[in-house]
Structure 1
Amino acid sequence: MQEIKQLIEAGKLQDAISHCQAILKKQPLETDIRSAYIELLCVNGELDKADKQINLLLSQAPDTAIGGKNVQQLIRAQQSRVDFSQGGATAEVFSDVDAELKAIVALQVAIKDQNNADVVSLCAALESARYQSSPTQPRDLDDSLAGYLEVLGTNGKFYLVKFSQISVLEWQAPTSILEQVWRRVHIDIINGASGDAFIPLTYLNSQSDAEKLGRETDWQAISQAAENEQSMYQGVGHKMLLIGESAQQLAYFTRDLDVQETDVDTSPQAALV
């Protein structure tokens, strides 16, 4: 386990995965190594493989059932996150359908279809709707997310939560490899749910080890700008927020506010747990 931790500290995700595979090939009943392997697969985006490894782990070590089932729920939530980004599954929300929600849903399809004109117009519509409803709130620097925070529920559901809907956000110290990337939080939604959930700290399109581990951030254009237009960008690596005039890593954003209930429409549509 020490070598796995050292590899992760060095930012060598693929080497850590290969190390686990080599050990498990010789010692398939090493439950600690298999548990670490499962978490590394999740970080690497190999969700189906991780899910199958959990089933194998549960058959070998039934006492890991609670932890294994919890990770499987997060895998389901993460898969829904992936599906949503590809224009598939619908995210859970805590508000009625509005211009902001319509824009972000349509935008995922436009990005998938590489429809440049729609990407530009929908990114603009998403930001305009966010600014009109909550101009002083933080926003993700990723133009495909803008005023939304992605949340993985412990119930296996994927949520899109507006920053303006969050009254409390408290990060918990990571206790595992996976929690370095899917961080446990306590979150309170104004007029809505309250409880523990997990927030992905990295963007979905992350490719390199450093990006998947949240060690760096970069940007990829998702539209080709016409004259007098700005290109739209999606992030890779650690998520970045714009708070006022300053850029800040998502992991450093906290909130504990007394927000008036009239500031935002937050009819509770779902629970986080």
Structure 2
Amino acid sequence: MNSAELVQAGRLEEALAALQTEIRHKPEDTRLRLFLFQLNCILGRLDKALTQLQAIASLDAETMLMAQIFRPVIACELLRRDVFAGKRTPIIFGEPMEWVGLLVRANELIAKGEFTAAAELRAQAFDAAPATAGKINGEPFEWIADADSRFGPMLEAIIEGKYYWVPFCRVQKIESEKPSDLRDLVWMPVQFTWTNGGSVPGHIPVRYPGTEESADGPLRLARQTGWCQQAGDTFLGMGLRVLATDANEYSLLECRALELTPAA
């Protein structure tokens, strides 16, 4: 099996070894080196991914543009790791509301393993957060939340080289295309439209924090979602991000259009 077939089979470490061999045989093949960059992103080998990105950046206009886009995205992913290790705090998009601070503090407690205390703060945050109605792919709902307890009414986003937590109530619309490359399984490219009418491209992390450390190929390839329950109703996700509404659940990768109606 070649490297692409091994990735398709979810055998990622074997795919990496096969791809490295293929590159040794065809060192000038840009396509293989681009594949290596993306596979390193899937595996969470971000330093290696940056090295590979630097190596291919000067080859042509397409790879130069990719390097300009993904250098800051990778830097944000490294910061994201620190956030969920309790070492950093995220930037909040828009004027911070009191419940947002409670949710940030709850996640700091989760990083310390203090799940019961975190659950108390999170419950207060969820009670105070506004319910945001809207549609996903045309299907209506009365409220939406990330199914992972760390996020709830909050969305992770990478915008203009910065890592944000964005309250759903700040969003008017999120549009995306069907994933076409491995890197889209790590960071989904989207177009954000805000409640003030502004619009900007960005990325949403597809996988829950720490997924890259899993030995499970389908989780790392964002084909599945796994859950770990802590302290009663605390659910921490691995693999593919899931959005829950009062009507249904949706994997992030199937959401082509998310339209939200700000609370009155």
Class of the TM-score when normalised by the shorter of the 2 chains? 0.7 to 0.9
**Distance in 2 (alpha carbons) for counterparts of 1:46 and 1:100:** 34
Q: Contact 2:86/2:112 (CA < 8 Å) preserved in 1?
A: no
Q: Deviations over 1:37-88 (max 9, x none)?
A: 11111111111221122223336x3653221221212111222222222223
Deviation at 1:211, TM superposition (A): 0.5
Which letter does structure 1 place at the counterpart of 2:259? D
Residue deviations 1:4-40 (CA, integer Å, cap 9, x gap): 4333332232232222222233443332211111111
Give the letter for the 2:112 counterpart: D
More displaced stretch, 243-252 vs 209-218:
243-252
**What is the DSSP-based 3-state SS (H/G/I as helix, E as strand, rest coil) of the residue aligned with 1:139?**
strand
Shift of 1:192: 6.1
- In the alignment, which residue of structure 2 is the partner of 1:233? 235
CA separation in 2, counterparts of 1:90 and 1:129? 21
Question: Is 2:150 aligned against 1:150?
Answer: no
Q: Deviations over 1:146-183 (max 9, x none)?
A: 11111122x22112112222211111233322113322
Deviations 1:168-226 (A, max 9, x none): 111123332211332211111111641211112211122121111111111112x33xx
Unmatched 5+ residue regions in structure 2? 133-141
Return 5+ residue gaps in structure 1 as ranges: 225-229, 265-273
CA distance in structure 2 between the partners assigned to 1:140 and 1:70 by the alignment: 26
The answer for the alignment partner of 2:222 in structure 1 is 214
The alignment of Structure 1 onto Structure 2 pairs a total of residues equal to 250
Structure 1 contact 137–164 (Cα < 8 Å) conserved: no
CA contact 1:219–1:234 (8 Å) conserved in 2:
yes
User: 1:232 and 1:28, CA in 2 relative to 1: closer, same or farther beyond 3 A?
Assistant: same
1-structure distance, mates of 2:197, 2:110: 31
| 1:7 correspondence with 2:6 | yes
Q: How does 1:23-172 map to 2 (within 5 A)?
A: 23-58=22-57, 61=59, 63=61, 64-130=63-129, 133-134=130-131, 136-153=142-159, 155-172=160-177
Query: 1:184 maps to which residue?
Result: 189
In the alignment, what sits opposite 1:199?
204
SS of residue paired to 2:91: coil
* Aligned 8 A contact 2:109 2:117 in 1: yes
CA distance in 2, matches of 1:193, 1:75: 25
Cα distance in structure 2, aligned partners of 1:192 and 1:3: 47
Q: Which amino acid aligns with 1:249?
A: S
SS at match of 2:42: helix
Q: Secondary structure at the match of 1:160?
A: strand
Per the TM alignment, residue 117 of structure 1 is displaced from its structure 2 partner at its CA by 3.0
CA contact (8 A) 1:80 1:157 kept: no
> What amino acid is the match of 2:50?
D
Paired amino acid for 1:150: E
TM-score, L = length of structure 2: 0.85
Identity between Structure 1 and Structure 2 (%): 24
Note if contact 2:72-2:161 (Cα within 8 Å) is conserved in structure 1: yes
Cα distance per residue 1:221-267 (max 9 Å; x no partner): 2x33xxxxx2411001111121114222122333235x45xx37xxx
For the 8 Å contact 1:137–1:163, the answer to whether it is kept is no
Amino acid at match of 1:141: A
Distance 1:23 1:232 in 2: 44
Question: Partners of 2:224 and 2:173 in 1: how far apart?
Answer: 27
- Poorly superposed stretches of 4+, deviation over 6 Å: none
- The answer on whether the counterparts of 1:14 and 1:209 sit within 8 Å (CA) in structure 2 is no
